[in-house]
Amino acid sequence: MSAVIFALALAAAQPIPESYHARGTGSSWSLTIGDGRLLFEPADGPAIDVPAPPPRTDDGYREYRTGRLAVTILPGDACSDGLIDRRADTVWIQVGEREFQGCGGAVLAADDLTDTSWHFAEIAGEAVPLTGDLFRDDIYAIDFHAQGFVGYGGCNRFSAAYSRSGDTLTAHAPWGSGARRCAEAIMAREQRLMQILTAPVRISLPDPNTLVLIGERGTIRLRRTPDQ
């Protein structure tokens, strides 16, 4: 079992809070699980209030199925509800032929990097040659997960586990990294990137779409990928 699958399965196995809340994009619907009931309130129709059956917890999901609606929760799959909050879980609801998707669980801190993706815009004062094409720019990208990250520095793929203490992020060995050779300028930029990331860095988010990692060996500026 991979570490990711194990983490999802472990999260699903945890007892649900006494009262659980979720909502759709732009508050198009809300869901409350509590006092032994499921209460689904869509903005464009009547509410559904039914007894909550015992949840299934297979394959990392928590699932409630009744005759009128089905609720599936993916714990630890952080998402945005389209307003100002990022929440810990992704939630799917099915009512007849209609399907709804939204976010539930704990509200994540504004600077939580879990399940976020970024493109490197500047490394140690040097602008990265981003093109605006999402796929081409993914050679200069990093994806953060709950306890690790994976990315590309222009030539090679890299990955590592990390920990947070306040606004400080520290990557931990062992590092995974490729061994391809690319143009000298690309390799030099990638080496500077690795030098910064392998030491502790301070996290700053001056706006929702900009991430700055500040370390003793230099500063990295990143832009949130457009598909988030």
Please tell me the total count of domains within the chain: 2
Which of 84, 107, 130 is at the close of a domain?
Answer: 107
Q: Which is nearest to 112 in space by CA: 86, 141, 73, 151?
A: 86
The encoded tokens of residue 92 equal 């799917």
Mean pLDDT on 70-98? 84
Which of 81, 107, 133 is at the close of a domain?
Answer: 107
**Secondary structure in 3-state letters for 101-129:** EEEEEEECCCCCCCCEEEEEEEECCEECC
Residue 25: Cβ within 10 Å count: 15
Which of 85, 107, 129 is at the close of a domain?
Answer: 107
The residue segments making up the domain with residue 29 are 3-107
pLDDT single digits (tens) 7-65: 444 444 445 556 899 999 777 899 999 999 999 999 998 999 999 999 998 777 899 99
- pLDDT band for position 132 (cuts 50, 70, 90): confident
Q: Which is nearest to 30 in space by CA: 109, 108, 91?
A: 91
Q: Do 75 and 135 reside in the same domain of the chain?
A: no
pLDDT single digits (tens) 141-187: 999 988 899 999 999 999 999 999 999 999 998 788 888 899 999 99
The predicted model scores a pTM of 0.65
